[in-house]
Structure 1
Amino acid sequence: MDHPNPILTPTKQPQIRVITLGLIKTSTHLLVSSGYDSVKQQVFHRALGGGVEFGEAGQDALRREFQEEIQAELTNIQYLGCIENRFVHEGKPGHELVLLYQCDLADPQLYQQEVISGYEGDQMLTAHWVEIERFKSGELLLVPQECLQFL
């Protein structure tokens, strides 16, 4: 009976994911998408963005993600910093390095839309404007929570 050699057999190890997020805000509102953790039975909100591909600059990834998700161009992109985000979602641990940017939407009409629809892969994505004070007061959960210091 053949047994795979454990030294030669690659194992799938959890990976640290590098993502980029764009904080787009007005004087009172932040553009976010919402998610739900069924294990925690908790709604959460996150700025838009996504994964950085190998060899891709963070700012380029941010532009690509906004184009893919809501077909929006970005302007005035400013790097804010990197956040290490360790979390549990749907009962599984996650670990991300978040390249955080402040930016604006190039199309001023998008600031007038209550909801901006698009796709994340093959899933429908809905972005909406939420009052920043609702995150600061703790009424709503913004993830990663370290983003609050930049609002």
Structure 2
Amino acid sequence: MDHSNRIRVLVLGLIQHHDRLFVAEGYDSVKQDKFYRALGGGIEFGETSLDALKREFQEEIQAELTNIHYLGCLENLFVYNGKPGHELIQLYQCDFADPKFHQLEQLTFLEDVGNTPITGLWIDCDRFRSGELQLVPSACLNYLQ
């Protein structure tokens, strides 16, 4: 089945600590450009976005979340590696329950799709606000504190 013309439904968790944002680093090989996005993933049929958020953080980095607040729904139309994409994103603000995550320089984990290694890291929010680094979807910038 061709998934290229489907709308994906995702959940992302914005985690800020001392004006840093915890993000995953991505790379578009066609644009030859790095980008960053909050951690999260697909919402499965019959699963609430809140349950999906908790599951994704548990699966990807074995992290429990706390102080979870729903922010809103974003619609994201984009081109990645030369292919158009369309997402609806349930966006949450949250914190790591375990403060050890605040000390991490970076963390490498495997994404469940294709077992691609992903790097999670803390980045100063001003680097996104200034446009030096690209946060996707860009509407997430509106929710940074």
Structure 1 equivalent of residue 94 of structure 2: 103
SS of the aligned residue for 1:117 comes to strand
SS of the aligned residue for 1:54 comes to coil
1:72 to 42, 59, 63: 63
SS of the aligned residue for 2:131 comes to coil
Instruction: Name structure 1 gaps, 5 residues minimum.
Output: 1-9
SS of the aligned residue for 2:133 comes to coil
In the alignment, the residues of structure 1 paired with residue 90 and residue 124 of structure 2 have an alpha-carbon distance, to the nearest angstrom, of: 23
Pairwise CA distance, 1:119: 1.9
In the alignment, the residues of structure 2 paired with residue 41 and residue 92 of structure 1 have an alpha-carbon distance, to the nearest angstrom, of: 14
TM-score (norm 2): 0.94
In the alignment, the residues of structure 1 paired with residue 116 and residue 103 of structure 2 have an alpha-carbon distance, to the nearest angstrom, of: 24
Alignment pair present for 1:46 and 2:41: no
Pairwise CA distance, 1:12: 6.2
In the alignment, the residues of structure 2 paired with residue 81 and residue 147 of structure 1 have an alpha-carbon distance, to the nearest angstrom, of: 10
Structure 2 equivalent of residue 62 of structure 1: 53
Alignment pair present for 1:92 and 2:83: yes
CA RMSD of aligned residues (A): 1.4
In the alignment, the residues of structure 2 paired with residue 55 and residue 67 of structure 1 have an alpha-carbon distance, to the nearest angstrom, of: 18
8 Å contact from structure 2 (residues 4, 85) kept in 1: no
Structure showing greater radius of gyration is 1
TM-score (norm 1): 0.90
Cα 1:138–1:67 shift into 2, 3 Å? same
Alignment pair present for 1:135 and 2:128: yes
Pairwise CA distance, 1:27: 2.6
Pairwise CA distance, 1:50: 0.3
Cα 1:13–1:132 shift into 2, 3 Å? closer
SS of the aligned residue for 1:15 comes to coil
Structure 1 segments, 4+ long, off by >6 Å, are 10-13
8 Å contact from structure 2 (residues 4, 84) kept in 1: no
Structure 1 equivalent of residue 117 of structure 2: 124
